[in-house]
A and B are shown apart, each in its own frame.
Chain A
Amino acid sequence: MTMQIMEGSIAVAETVRLCRPQVISAYPITPQTHIVEGLASIVADGRLDAEYICVESEFSALSACIGASAAGSRVYSATTSQGLALMAEVVFNSAGMRLPIVMGIANRAISAPLSIWNDQQDSIMMRDSGWLQFYAEDNQEAVDLHILAYKICEDHNILLPAFVCFDGFILSHVYEPVDIPDQEAVDAFLGPFNPYQKLDCNDPISFGMYATPEYYLEFRYEHDQAVKRAAEAFKKYGKEFGEKFGRDYSELVTQYKIEDAETIIIAMGSICGTIKDAIDEMREAGKKVGLLGIRCFRPFPSEDLRALLGNAKRVAVLDKNVSLGAKGAVALEVKDACYGMDLPIYDYILGLGGRDVRKSDIKNIVALCEEGKGDMFYGLREEVL
């Protein structure tokens, strides 16, 4: 293992190179730009034998990926925020066509108001698209989840596209040590892309055809079943990844000091790092606090959470997104997973549009949770309301 200090986006670009996509199509947008710049350079320098298709929009980028994937290529794209919003129609189409496309999402807030800064509203917006959604806590996870995503998506029992989500700027632009695996090891893990079916002039086939009311419901059921099957595939290939690369991904939910925890925090993405530090300090002060990090949001690990929350007294869900008029997306899922359990679950919407979340905020939230106060926007500046 060779640790290198590098920017998150460049680490992702170098990892995508190791996965040997044959076609890359993406449109630059902050904070994802360095990934596509990195990949464009890698292809131009001959370090990856791939077609890099320049397009005029994100809609076209993912459309090009659909064509290339249907034609039997391993493909990659990356986007964020408004770019993902512009892709919306193609996001749903690619999932319904069951094409194993992997797309990096450098998570960013959604307009309006315009914000280039981090939250997770963009990928959460595509919650119901039928794409798998994985969230990285740090740059190493962003690297590893890209490799794992191809393995899961291309399984003929799954055949789905996946987002690999990592927080914009907080991870995408941060330099930290990462282990970029060896080409031979990645080749051995992934193997060449083996399409389940593909466009072929000599054996014609059409993707994403018209389904009458007699068939549509069944197509959606089959799609839902495939997303749910991806949970077991994640665990299986995550374990295999751990055996090959030394970092285990056999769980959809990461655990930190939950064995005796009275208050359990549930969160997703880079904020988990801050929470772990805050937990260490709270434990020194005698508070029994633990963390469950949602590494795989789609499929949602409902049963895993239910089992892991069995001994908790209260739960604080930290959402960097909000389903306006309801609650944060993670909290809604956790409440659904724990329905019928005698367990108070409080939601805290925080960190939207790049608002910093500090260790002191985590401690404040744990205190609020202990008082039974929650289901709120945390950290509002009352003076500007």
Chain B
Amino acid sequence: MPLGIGCTARPGQSRNNKTGSWRVYYPILDTEKCTKCGTCQLICPEGCITQNEDKTYAIDLDFCKGCGMCAEECPDKAKAISMHLEEK
């Protein structure tokens, strides 16, 4: 990709930066434990958690930076998200 003068970009270009490569820990969502409360989607600072048509949630690991906020904030009665060390 040639450089745009002034580091300009057209809409949607941020999807090309797959920031998931920065991650040290990655989340695993246990759909059996998940109560579908939606807290993880609300607090994810990257906006990389989305709800599927069947109301379950999915984490886009292309952009998840592994901050762990979803695992921390998942309510005690569910604790459906756990963090795991990336093997690189």
Where the two chains meet, the residues of A that have a C-beta atom closer than 8 Å to any C-beta of B are 96-99, 159, 196-197, 204-212, 215, 218-219, 222
Q: What is the minimal beta-carbon distance from A62 to any residue of chain B, in angstroms?
A: 16
Residues on B with beta carbons closer than 8 Å to the beta carbon of A97? 6-7
User: Does A96 lie within 8 Å of B3, measured CB to CB?
Assistant: no
User: Does A212 lie within 8 Å of B17, measured CB to CB?
Assistant: yes
* Given known A-B contacts A210-B14, A210-B17, A96 and B7 have beta carbons under 8 A apart: yes
| Bound CA span A218–B5, Å | 11
| Bound CA span A288–B13, Å | 62
Q: In terms of DSSP, what is the predominant structure of the interface of chain B?
A: loop
Q: What is the minimal beta-carbon distance from B6 to any residue of chain A, in angstroms?
A: 4
| Bound CA span A307–B10, Å | 46
Residues on B with beta carbons closer than 8 Å to the beta carbon of A218? 3
Residues on B with beta carbons closer than 8 Å to the beta carbon of A96? 6-7
Where the two chains meet, the residues of B that have a C-beta atom closer than 8 Å to any C-beta of A are 3-11, 13-14, 17
Task: Report how many A-B pairs have Cβ atoms within 8 Å.
Answer: 44
| Bound CA span A258–B75, Å | 80
| Bound CA span A264–B13, Å | 54
Residues on B with beta carbons closer than 8 Å to the beta carbon of A219? 3, 7
| Bound CA span A207–B4, Å | 9
Residues on B with beta carbons closer than 8 Å to the beta carbon of A197? 4-6, 8
In the complex, which of the residues A159, A196, A209 contacts B9, with contact meaning CB atoms closer than 8 Å? A209
User: Does B3 lie within 8 Å of A215, measured CB to CB?
Assistant: yes
Q: In terms of DSSP, what is the predominant structure of the interface of chain A?
A: loop
* Given known A-B contacts A204-B11, A210-B14, A210-B17, A99 and B3 have beta carbons under 8 A apart: no
* Given known A-B contacts A210-B17, A212-B17, A205 and B3 have beta carbons under 8 A apart: no
In the complex, which of the residues B7, B11, B14 contacts A208, with contact meaning CB atoms closer than 8 Å? B7
In the complex, which of the residues B6, B9, B14, B17 contacts A98, with contact meaning CB atoms closer than 8 Å? B6
Quick one: closest B residue to A95, CB to CB?
A: B6
Q: What is the minimal beta-carbon distance from B11 to any residue of chain A, in angstroms?
A: 5
| Bound CA span A64–B3, Å | 25
| Bound CA span A207–B5, Å | 9
Quick one: closest B residue to A156, CB to CB?
A: B5
Known contacts A210-B17, A218-B3, A219-B3; 8 additional CB pairs below 8 A are A97-B7, A98-B5, A159-B5, A197-B5, A206-B13, A207-B6, A208-B7, A209-B13
Q: What is the minimal beta-carbon distance from A209 to any residue of chain B, in angstroms?
A: 4
Residues on A with beta carbons closer than 8 Å to the beta carbon of B13? 206, 209
Sampled A-B contacts (11; CB under 8 Å):
A97-B6, A98-B5, A196-B5, A197-B8, A205-B8, A205-B10, A207-B7, A208-B6, A208-B8, A209-B14, A211-B7
Q: Which of B6, B8, B14, B17 has the most CB of A within 10 A?
A: B6
User: Does A206 lie within 8 Å of B8, measured CB to CB?
Assistant: yes
| Bound CA span A219–B4, Å | 9
Q: What is the minimal beta-carbon distance from A28 to any residue of chain B, in angstroms?
A: 29
Q: What is the minimal beta-carbon distance from B17 to any residue of chain A, in angstroms?
A: 6
| Bound CA span A196–B4, Å | 11
| Bound CA span A123–B58, Å | 52
Q: Which 8 pairs from chain A and chain B are nearest by CB?
A: A98-B6, A97-B6, A209-B9, A209-B7, A98-B5, A206-B9, A204-B11, A205-B8
Q: Which of B5, B9, B10, B17 has the most CB of A within 10 A?
A: B5
User: Does B10 lie within 8 Å of A204, measured CB to CB?
Assistant: yes
